[in-house]
Amino acid sequence: MVIEQYTITTTPKYNFPHPTIDTTLSQRFSEISINSLKQVRINNFLLNLQEDNFTENNPTQIQLKRTPLPLTPKHQETTIVAVDSSTIKIGETPTGIIIAIRGATVWKQNRNYRYTRLGPFIFHITEENKKSIYSSLERTYFTTQNSSQQIPTLLQMPNRLANLLERWLQIMLAKNTNNGIILFDGSLIGGTIDTPTHRLHEILSNARRNKNTVLAFSKATTLRINGYLITERLPEQSTPYLLETTGLHFKPPTVLLGDVYVAKLQRSNMAFRLDIDKEIEFSERIEAVEKLLGNDVFQQSYPETLRLAHILCTFTANEVLAMQHFASSKHGIQIINRPDMHRLLFGPFGKEGYA
C-alpha cells in the first residue's frame, strides 16, 4: 500500500504495578483528534504522499576509546521500562493529511512483561489547523513551551505529534518509576527542532530524582570515525562490553545531554549507540547497563522490553485499513487512491521512493 510509517526517536513511560495514567492526555488527544476530523469539509481523502526526513546537525571530532569496558550481568531485581511511539499517514484530503499516532510502554518486573498502549489517535491536519493542534497539545502536556520554535510544516506534523506523545510518555515514566532503568528509543540530543533542551532536561531530571537511569538506544547512528560508523569495526573482545566516546559536541542550539557509548551486549554482529544521562555517575552508568543485562532478554544485542514497545506501537496494514474504515464510516470520508506517479510514468521501473 501507500502508507509510510515513522518510528520516532525516543522512549519511556511511567509506573509499574498499576500505572496511574493521566486521563487528561487521552481526553485532550481525543478531543483534538475528533475536532480535526470534523473539519474535513470535502469528503474525499487521498492516499500516498512522499515524506521528508529531517537531518541532525553534524557533530564535531568524535573519538572512540579502543579499550572496552567489560560488563558483568547483575541479576539484582530491577524494573526495566521502555517507551516508543509510532505514526502513520492513513490518507490525504485536498486540504491536508490524515494521520494516526500511537504510543506504547512496556515494563518488565518479576520476569513478566506488561504493556500499555495509548491510541491510535487520528488527526486531520491542514495548513490552517496545524498550529493550533500542535500548540494545544504542547500546552496541555508540558509545563514549558517551546515558543521560539517554528511551527512544523504539514509533512513534519506526523513525526512532531508522535514525538510530543512520546516525550509525554517519557516524562510520565520518569515521574512514576523508582529505582528502575528507563529505555528510550533514540538519543539524548536536545535542542533539536522537535525536542527542546529544557524538555529533555526535565525528563532526565525527573528520572534522576526517582533514582532511575535513562539508557537511550539508537537503532541506527550516523556518527562516524575515520569514515566508519562507530558501531562497526569493533575490537575482538568478549562480550558484553561498552566503548566510550569522547569529543562529541554539536553546534548550538543542539546539545547532548548524555554521554555516547557503543554497546555490544551479545556475541551477535550487532552493536548499538547507547546514550546515558550525563549527570549519572560513571559507576552507576555501568551498573545500570549490567542490571539491564541481568534483568532483560536480548535479541541481537537489543533489549526485549524496548523491542516489544516498538512492536506494540507499530501500525500494521490491517490497522491502517481499519482506521480508514473508521474515518469513512464515522466521519463520512471517502478514500480515493491517488495514482502513483512513479508507476504511472515509469511503469515497472517506477519503484516508489526512488528518484
Partner 1 sequence: MKLYKKEGNIVQILSFPDENAEKGDYLVVEDNEAHKALIVQVIDVQFAAVSGMLEELLRTLSEGSDFIKGEDIDPLEIAPHITYIQDASLLVCKIRATLENDQLSPNNSWLPSRSQSIIIKLSVQSLMKLAKVDGDLPIILGGTKDSTLLTIDATAIDGTLNIITGKKGCGKSHLSKLLMISLVGYKATVVIFDLNGEYTSIGMTQDGKRNIYYDKIHTLNPAQNFKVSLDQLHLNVVMGILVHALHLPGTSAREFRRIWKDLKDKDKLTLVNLGEAIRNCNCNQHVRDALASRFHSISNSGFFTDNKTEANLLDESLAKCKNQGGAIVINLKNTSTVDRQIVVEYVLGKLVDSLQSWKLKAVFLFAEEAHLYLRETYWDDIVTRMRHYGIFTTFITNQPDTIQETIYRQADNIFLFNFTNEHDLDVVSRAARIDAETVKSIARDLPPQHCLTLGKVVRDFPMVTRVRSIDVKTMGETRLFFS
Stretch that binds partner 1, among 44-52, 221-229, 237-245, 304-312 (CB under 8 A): 304-312
Residue in 187, 181, 208 with CA at minimum distance from that of residue 289: 181
CA 56 to chain centre: 15
Shortest Cβ distance from residue 33 to partner 1 (Å)?
6
Hey, which residues between 235 and 294 contact partner 1 (CB under 8 A)? none
Nearer to partner 1, 114 or 208 (CB): 114
Regarding 121 and contact with partner 1 (CB under 8 A), the answer is yes
Distance, CA of 195 to CA of 142 (rounded, Å): 12
Nearer to partner 1, 200 or 308 (CB): 308
Regarding 2 and contact with partner 1 (CB under 8 A), the answer is no
Regarding 141 and contact with partner 1 (CB under 8 A), the answer is no
C-alpha cell at 106: 512496556
Long-range Cβ contacts of 35-40 (<8 Å, 24+ apart): 36/123, 36/124, 36/125, 36/129, 36/133, 37/98, 37/122, 37/123, 37/124, 37/327, 37/330, 37/331, 37/333, 38/331, 39/124, 39/126, 39/129, 40/93, 40/95, 40/98, 40/124, 40/331, 40/333
Q: What is the DSSP string of 32-84?
A: HHHHHHHT--SSEEE---------PPPP---EE-SS-EE-----S---EEEEE
Regarding 133 and contact with partner 1 (CB under 8 A), the answer is no
Regarding 162 and contact with partner 1 (CB under 8 A), the answer is no
Residue in 75, 166, 168, 91 with CA at minimum distance from that of residue 123: 91
Residue that has been written with the C-alpha cell 491510535 in this structure: 120
Distance, CA of 216 to CA of 290 (rounded, Å): 15
Shortest Cβ distance from residue 347 to partner 1 (Å)?
23
Regarding 21 and contact with partner 1 (CB under 8 A), the answer is yes
Nearer to partner 1, 19 or 68 (CB): 19
Residue that has been written with the C-alpha cell 543542539 in this structure: 254
Regarding 323 and contact with partner 1 (CB under 8 A), the answer is yes
Shortest Cβ distance from residue 286 to partner 1 (Å)?
29
Stretch that binds partner 1, among 21-29, 201-209, 234-242, 258-266 (CB under 8 A): 21-29
Regarding 26 and contact with partner 1 (CB under 8 A), the answer is yes
Nearer to partner 1, 27 or 179 (CB): 27
Hey, which residues between 78 and 117 contact partner 1 (CB under 8 A)? 106, 112-117
Shortest Cβ distance from residue 112 to partner 1 (Å)?
7
Regarding 34 and contact with partner 1 (CB under 8 A), the answer is yes
CB atoms within 10 A of CB 134: 21
Query: Among 326, 335, 340, 342, which residue sits at the site for partner 1 (rule: CB under 8 A)?
Result: 326
Shortest Cβ distance from residue 249 to partner 1 (Å)?
40
Binding residues for partner 1 (CB under 8 A): 1, 21, 26-27, 29-30, 33-34, 106, 112-122, 308, 311-312, 314, 316-323, 325-326, 329
